[in-house]
């Protein structure tokens, strides 16, 4: 049986009846720009981050852009963000004319290294964008401490982490803004592009709402130079169909991760990332000892204070060329996998003009070691067994 990295049809077709009703409701409403469908989704997503305002936007990327615009960040400003992330985080900083300043990552939680954030703050720094990568929150107490010390706003890139929890607080609740994405591969996957920007600040919410629609309020009176960053009511209505099932989706992802942890963790040569954050961002190599031999694969493990939502289940495969070898073997067996992310941002051609950003040794290392395997909610145990068999064969080869 093939094991895809993600199978959207299982989840979507199970909701076909409700999705069709939502479509019909919007069709008959005759309202295709903003309105109650968008407002309803906005308030429900805001509630999932325990904040008061949600702003439905055209994508997670545009949510980041809008947050930067609302904070009036532009030319001459620097914004700290991880190098090991999806392009949108740094791309938006560059698009508003500011300079992305790349920060290294933690070898274990994949999130930004807060000590490196602190080292890279300058008088030009205007914001910090931590990314809650793969479904687990960055070390937000420490991020917020640095931000407070230097009086900097924080934009949480929580595109992969809707509903994720850090020490009892929800992702998107810490910063001036939180960003969520409805891209189909995210945990709350939509039917096209979409995103929601959240904030607890009335003034920022007001400004972001204006900027979302050409910076005008009322219509045709332009206070700011905004854009068209609106979420469609049709998209909002369809996504809302999934919301009552979201907790269940997350439970299944968590259960799949726990199953991998037991099954893969029992293999010779596999060790686990440390479950406490005492080592976070130190770059030190540590974790559980593999049952036998040296560690060749490191399993992801959430820090004990975090609730991980497992947007991705990302292994580290140690040794030159070994990650790519595992990927080839998985492909031969028709098992889906993906390299998130093969090239860190400080090595991207489009950022060459920024000059030398390094050294960012952990970002470089993660780009060569990471491999994400199937974790989606509808994955069956039989499929997971196939993945484990393949990894076992790889370790024995
Ligand atoms: C998906 C993603 C985005 C962008 O979201 P889109 O909705 O695809 O524009 C931004 N940051 C991270 C970390 C992401 O994973």
Residue 35 in this model has a pLDDT that exceeds 80? yes
Residue 336 in this model has a pLDDT that exceeds 90? yes
pLDDT for position 40: 98
Q: What is the share, in percent, of the chain residues with pLDDT greater than 70?
A: 100
DSSP-derived pairing of the beta strands 270-272 and 297-299: parallel
Q: What is the share, in percent, of the chain residues with pLDDT greater than 90?
A: 93
pLDDT for position 183: 98
CB of 178 closer than 6 A to ligand 1? no
CB of 59 closer than 6 A to ligand 1? yes
With tokens 């686990």, the residue in question is 272
110-120 confidence digits (pLDDT tens): 999 999 999 99
Highest mean pLDDT pick, 272-276, 279-283, 294-298, 380-384: 380-384
pLDDT for position 282: 82
Confidence band for 62, pLDDT divided at 50, 70 and 90:
very high
pLDDT for position 390: 98
208-233 confidence digits (pLDDT tens): 999 999 999 999 999 999 999 999 99
How far does the centroid of ligand 1 lie from the alpha carbon of residue 60, in Å?
5
Q: Which residue puts its alpha carbon closest to atom 6 of ligand 1?
A: 60
Residue 280 in this model has a pLDDT that exceeds 90? no
Q: Are 333 and 386 in contact (CB under 8 A)?
A: yes
Residue 302 in this model has a pLDDT that exceeds 80? yes
How far does the centroid of ligand 1 lie from the alpha carbon of residue 345, in Å?
14
pLDDT for position 7: 98
How far does the centroid of ligand 1 lie from the alpha carbon of residue 292, in Å?
39
Residue 155 in this model has a pLDDT that exceeds 90? yes
pLDDT for position 358: 79
Q: How many residues would you count in the chain?
A: 397
CB of 60 closer than 6 A to ligand 1? yes
pLDDT for position 119: 96
pLDDT for position 275: 86
Residue 292 in this model has a pLDDT that exceeds 80? no
pLDDT for position 288: 81
pLDDT for position 251: 98
Q: What is the C-alpha to C-alpha distance for residues 304 and 302, in angstroms, rounded to an integer? A: 6
Q: Which residue puts its alpha carbon closest to atom 10 of ligand 1?
A: 88
Tell me which of 57, 157, 312 to substitute to probe ligand 1's pocket, judged by most ligand atoms within 8 Å of the beta carbon. 157
Tell me which of 45, 61, 235, 310 to substitute to probe ligand 1's pocket, judged by most ligand atoms within 8 Å of the beta carbon. 61
CB of 183 closer than 6 A to ligand 1? yes
Q: What is the C-alpha to C-alpha distance for residues 142 and 146, in angstroms, rounded to an integer? A: 6
Q: What is the C-alpha to C-alpha distance for residues 28 and 19, in angstroms, rounded to an integer? A: 14
Residue 274 in this model has a pLDDT that exceeds 80? yes
Q: What is the C-alpha to C-alpha distance for residues 138 and 117, in angstroms, rounded to an integer? A: 12
CB of 235 closer than 6 A to ligand 1? no
Q: Are 231 and 196 in contact (CB under 8 A)?
A: yes
How far does the centroid of ligand 1 lie from the alpha carbon of residue 260, in Å?
26
CB of 88 closer than 6 A to ligand 1? yes
3-29 confidence digits (pLDDT tens): 999 999 999 999 999 999 999 999 999
Token pair, residue 381, equals: 């145990």
Helix, strand, coil fractions of the chain, as percent rounded to 5: 40, 15, 40
> What is the pLDDT averaged over residues 245-267?
98
Helix (H, G, I), strand (E, B) or coil at 121: coil
Enumerate the H helices of the chain as residue ranges: 8-13, 16-29, 36-48, 60-70, 87-95, 114-120, 140-150, 202-212, 233-242, 246-265, 322-332, 361-369, 381-396
Confidence band for 256, pLDDT divided at 50, 70 and 90:
very high
Token pair, residue 197, equals: 């920007």
Token pair, residue 17, equals: 């009846």
Residue 293 in this model has a pLDDT that exceeds 90? no
Residue 33 in this model has a pLDDT that exceeds 80? yes
pLDDT for position 328: 98
Q: Are 106 and 280 in contact (CB under 8 A)?
A: yes
pLDDT for position 1: 80
DSSP-derived pairing of the beta strands 78-82 and 99-103: parallel
Mean pLDDT of the chain: 96
Q: Is 2 exposed, middle or buried (0-12, 13-18, 19+ CB in 10 A)?
A: exposed
Confidence band for 287, pLDDT divided at 50, 70 and 90:
confident
pLDDT for position 276: 85
pLDDT for position 346: 98
How far does the centroid of ligand 1 lie from the alpha carbon of residue 136, in Å?
15
345-377 confidence digits (pLDDT tens): 999 999 999 999 879 999 999 999 999 999 999
pLDDT for position 279: 81
Q: What is the pTM of this model?
A: 0.97
């Amino acid at each position: 049986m093939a094991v895809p990295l993600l199978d959207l049809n299982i989840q979507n077709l199970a909701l076909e009846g409700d999705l069709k009703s939502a479509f019909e409701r919007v069709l008959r409403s005759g309202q295709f720009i903003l309105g109650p469908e968008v407002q309803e989704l906005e308030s429900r997503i805001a509630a999932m981050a325990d904040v008061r305002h949600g702003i439905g936007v055209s994508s997670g990327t545009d949510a980041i852009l809008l947050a930067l615009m609302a904070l009036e960040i532009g030319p001459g400003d620097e914004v700290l963000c991880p190098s090991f992330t999806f392009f949108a985080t740094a791309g938006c900083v560059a698009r508003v004319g500011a300079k992305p300043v790349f920060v290294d990552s933690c070898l274990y939680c994949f999130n930004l290294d807060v000590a490196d954030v602190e080292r890279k703050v300058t008088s030009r720094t205007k914001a910090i964008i931590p990314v809650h990568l793969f479904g687990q929150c960055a070390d937000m107490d420490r991020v917020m401490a640095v931000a407070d010390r230097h009086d900097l706003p924080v934009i949480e890139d929580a595109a992969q982490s809707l509903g994720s929890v850090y020490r009892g607080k929800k992702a998107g609740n810490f910063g001036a803004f939180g960003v969520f994405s409805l891209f189909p591969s995210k945990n709350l996957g939509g039917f096209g592009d979409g995103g929601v920007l959240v904030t607890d600040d009335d003034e920022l919410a007001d400004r972001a709402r204006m900027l979302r629609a050409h910076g005008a309020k009322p219509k045709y009176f332009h206070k700011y130079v905004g854009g068209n960053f609106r979420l469609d009511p049709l998209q909002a209505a369809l996504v809302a169909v999934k919301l009552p099932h979201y907790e269940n989706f997350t439970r299944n992802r968590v259960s799949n991760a726990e199953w991998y942890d037991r099954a893969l963790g029992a293999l010779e040569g596999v060790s686990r990332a440390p479950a406490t954050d005492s080592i976070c961002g130190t770059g030190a190599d540590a974790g559980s000892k593999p049952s036998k031999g040296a560690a060749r694969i490191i399993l992801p493990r959430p820090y004990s204070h975090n609730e991980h939502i497992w947007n991705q289940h990302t292994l580290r495969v140690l040794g030159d060329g070994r990650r790519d070898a595992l990927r080839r073997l998985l492909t031969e067996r028709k098992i889906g996998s993906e390299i998130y992310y093969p090239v860190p941002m400080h090595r991207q051609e489009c950022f060459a003009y920024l000059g030398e950003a390094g050294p960012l040794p952990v970002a470089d290392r993660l780009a060569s070691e990471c491999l994400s395997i199937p974790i989606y909610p509808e994955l069956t145990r039989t499929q997971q067994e196939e993945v484990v068999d393949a990894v076992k064969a790889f370790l024995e080869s």
